[in-house]
Structure formats: C-alpha cells, structure tokens
Amino acid sequence: MKDLSKHPCFNKEAKSEHGRVHLPIAPKCNIQCNYCDRKYDCVNESRPGVTSSVLTPKQAIAYLKDLKTKLPNLSVVGIAGPGDPFANPEETMETLRLVNEEFPEMLSCLSTNGVNLMPYIDQLAEYGVSHVTITINSLDPEVLGKIYHWIRADKRVLRGNMAGEEIIKRQLACIPLLKAKGMIVKINTIVVPGVNDHCIEELAAKTAELGADVMNCIPLYPNKNTPFENVLAPTHNEMQAIRAKILKHIKPMTHCARCRADAAGLLGQDYKGAMDMLREYSSKPTVPVKERPYVAVASFEGMLVNQHLGESKELFIYRETPNGYRFVEKRETPVAGNGERRWLALSSILNDCRALLTGGAGPSPVRVLESSGIRVIQMTGLIDNGLDVVYKGKVLRTIKKADAFKCGQSCSGNAAGCG
C-alpha cells in the first residue's frame, strides 16, 4: 500500500522530507489560456508551462532512474506539461505505465485542464495514479470565455461562452469519477483580479460538493506577450481573503511553489543538476543506434549540407558501409504547415535515422526530432564531413548553423517560422 501522506503538494508536513519530480513529456496543449506562455529549453523562469527539455516516455524513465540515485528522497513522480497530459495521451499513458512497472512504490500524479481527461480515468487507476489536479477557473461560461482564448474539444475549436460551457461541463464530470476510483483530487484556480476573483467561493463550494479534497488558489503570474500581461497580480491580502472564503467549503493549499514542468527535488529547493540531466537524456536515442543505421541530409544537390530543414521538400538518406558512405534513397518531407505535427510526422519518417544534417533548423523541429532520438546537426560543408561526425565521432570545428539560413534573412520563407 502506498503512503499517500508522502505527497508534498497535498501534505504540507511532507514538503521538507519528500521530493517530487515532474517528467516533461507532454508538450502539446488543447487550450490556450490568456495568462499562459509555454516555453521549452528555458532555464530562466520558474513557473508552470516552462521546461528546459522535452522527453519521450523511455527517455523519461531513464532520467528518473538516474535521478533516483541522486535524490533518494524522491517519493512522487508527476506529469504537469509543459502542455496538457491529455493533449498528449499516448505519451502520458505510456509514461505512467512504465513508472508503475519500474517504480511501483512511488506515488504518481498529474495535473490537467480536464478537457480530455474522462476517457482515461479507468486506465489512470489501473496504472496506480493516486493524485489528480484539475485546473478550474470559474463556473461561469462568460468568465471562462475571457480566460481562455480557445479550447480544442475533440476535433472542435471553441471560443467565448461556448468554450466556457464545454470546459466546465467536462471538468466537473471528472471529479466524482476520479473519487470513485479512490484518487485524491485537487482543484487549481488561477486568481485573475477583475476577471474571476469574485466567483471563486462558489467554485470551491461546488467542487467540494462533488468530492474534491483540496483547492489551490494561485495568484496570476503576468506573463509578457499574453493578453493578461498588464493585469496586476493579486496582493497577499487579497489572496488571504480568498483562501479564508474557500476554507468554509474545502481545505486550501497554502504552500504551492508554482513548479516548473521539469521540477525535481524538494518544494522550493529544486535540484540544480536536473536541467543538465534533462538535456543529456533528451538527446539520447531511445532506439539502439544499431537499429538506426541511416543519416538524413538536407541538401540541394547531394554534395553539401546547405539547405534549411524548413525549406526541404526531400532529404537524402545515407549509411555507412565497409567501403565508405553510400547514398541510399531520397525521402519526401511532410508538407509545410501544421506546426509541430509536421515535425512529429518527420520524426516518424526518419525513425531509422540516428541523425539529421541540415544547414539550419528552428527550435521546434530540433526539439521534436531530438526527443525522438534523432540528433540534429546544424552545419555547412561537405556531407562526408558531417557523416564523419556521426559515424566516427570526429570533431568538425566549422560545424555551425549558417548565417544565411537564419529565418527572416535570406530564407525564402515568410519569416513565420518553420511550421
């Protein structure tokens, strides 16, 4: 039997003894909050939605195994983004399955907006998830329409009051279902002055009635480049008054550390070596290199590495042989557009390649491809020189991203990014 009292986010007394780790395996999100700015490869901010790297499920388990040797007091493993776990359901459920197999003694939890949570509740229980946090910001569809720019419910994109009605219906329906499976439920609420601060007590009463165990009211963090960037955060006294009101209905959480999506260690005392470890594990292939014999190359003519990945309609595929490097074939790349989905499709096309040589690439394709175990090398020069780096481990001192391929300069694209 797992000791539920060891969860530091749900039990204040546990925070000085028991650590937690968030595995950043869920980059996509199915809502756009007007206070949120998700960032990848960021080390300078400590808040939800930020991570230094994104991992695949297998990379996450390898990272967790290593981290446990350095932080033996880790009691909890969670998934909190940097997007939403159920906008990335395959990655989320595979990670939870592996955690349950490898670390059955650890508590496992996740934090979600609840839009796509319901279909997975039975499976969460099967994989031993003990704590679930749902971010619910109001019961009023009009208020929610101001907080969310849009939500994606199944294949529909909803805005305004329609978005608010749909998200609250889905969120509230999940609470009793989670409780029926024996899970502890926490409600997170972002307090936005002048928007939802007047209706939080009503929300506390309703969620408590449905069985929620604890409520965490989090003051707005005014992020730059978001619609709420100029909204003032609530004061300490205002937050105290709100917590006093919800105390009439539900237990308030008072020690939230507003953790990153890759947080590791004790609350408020994150392990400083975790970011370096994350970068290391995010670049490790999850398929043995012997099963990835090829290297893809972005090239105009098949002699030089000289083409930006975003402009490449096809890639040259090479492999090493006893008699040198051999051209194997050309492979078409997915058509431009569709943002991250284009690079996920490309990673599938290149699933037998251990590396990609390119004259330049944006941060999104680099992140997605390297999370799939494909090393991205940005360089200019002879293809053979790049292949020497991959297959023989040679150092090519001129290896670099060419200035000519910086987006918005000589790139023939529209400077809107490599989507």
Q: Residue 398's pLDDT is what?
A: 54
Interatomic CA distance for residues 182 and 130, integer angstroms: 7
User: CA of 161: how far to CAs of 92, 138, 168, 228, 310, in Å?
Assistant: 29, 12, 11, 18, 37
Indicate the class that CATH gives domain 289-405. Answer: alpha beta
Q: Residue 286's pLDDT is what?
A: 59
- What mean pLDDT is predicted for residues 148-168? 91
CATH number of 4-282: 3.20.20.70
**Banded pLDDT at 48 (limits 50, 70, 90):** low
* pLDDT at residue 67 is higher than 50: yes
User: CA of 317: how far to CAs of 143, 297, 310, 321, 417, in Å?
Assistant: 53, 6, 17, 13, 25
Where are the domain boundaries for CATH 3.30.420.130 in the chain? 289-405
Percent of the chain at pLDDT > 70 equals 84
Residue found under tokens 């790049």: 386
Q: What is the mean pLDDT of the chain?
A: 84
Q: Residue 17's pLDDT is what?
A: 76
Highest mean pLDDT among 255-269, 325-339, 389-403: 325-339
* pLDDT at residue 50 is higher than 70: no
Token pair for residue 224?
């730059």
Beta bridge partners of 266: 269
- What mean pLDDT is predicted for residues 108-119? 94
How would DSSP label each residue in 190-226? EE-TTTTTTSHHHHHHHHHHHT--EEEEEE----TTS
The residue among 289 and 159 whose pLDDT is bigger is 159
**Banded pLDDT at 407 (limits 50, 70, 90):** very low
* pLDDT at residue 293 is higher than 90: yes
Helix and strand numbers (H, E) in the chain are 11, 19
The residue among 30 and 309 whose pLDDT is bigger is 309
3-state secondary structure of 22: strand
Where are the domain boundaries for CATH 3.20.20.70 in the chain? 4-282
What predicted TM-score, i.e. pTM, was given to this entire model? Answer: 0.67
Q: Residue 383's pLDDT is what?
A: 95
- What mean pLDDT is predicted for residues 98-125? 93
Q: Residue 73's pLDDT is what?
A: 85
**Banded pLDDT at 404 (limits 50, 70, 90):** very low
Among 32-36, 126-130, 383-387, 414-418, the minimum mean pLDDT is found in: 414-418
Long-range contacts of 382-385 (CB under 8 A, 24+ apart): 382/303, 382/304, 382/305, 383/297, 383/299, 383/302, 383/303, 383/304, 383/305, 383/316, 383/318, 383/325, 383/357, 384/325
* pLDDT at residue 288 is higher than 70: no
**Banded pLDDT at 299 (limits 50, 70, 90):** very high
Backbone angles phi, psi at 96, to 5 degrees: -65, -35
Q: Residue 33's pLDDT is what?
A: 87
- What mean pLDDT is predicted for residues 184-210? 94
**Banded pLDDT at 47 (limits 50, 70, 90):** very low
- What mean pLDDT is predicted for residues 141-152? 92
pLDDT digit string, tens, across residues 201-230: 999 999 999 999 999 998 988 877 788 888
The residue among 167 and 30 whose pLDDT is bigger is 167
**Banded pLDDT at 394 (limits 50, 70, 90):** confident
Interatomic CA distance for residues 6 and 15, integer angstroms: 8
Q: What size, in residues, is the chain? A: 419
Can the peptide bond before residue 82 be classed as cis, meaning omega within 30 degrees of 0? yes
pLDDT digit string, tens, across residues 355-382: 999 999 988 898 888 877 788 999 999 9
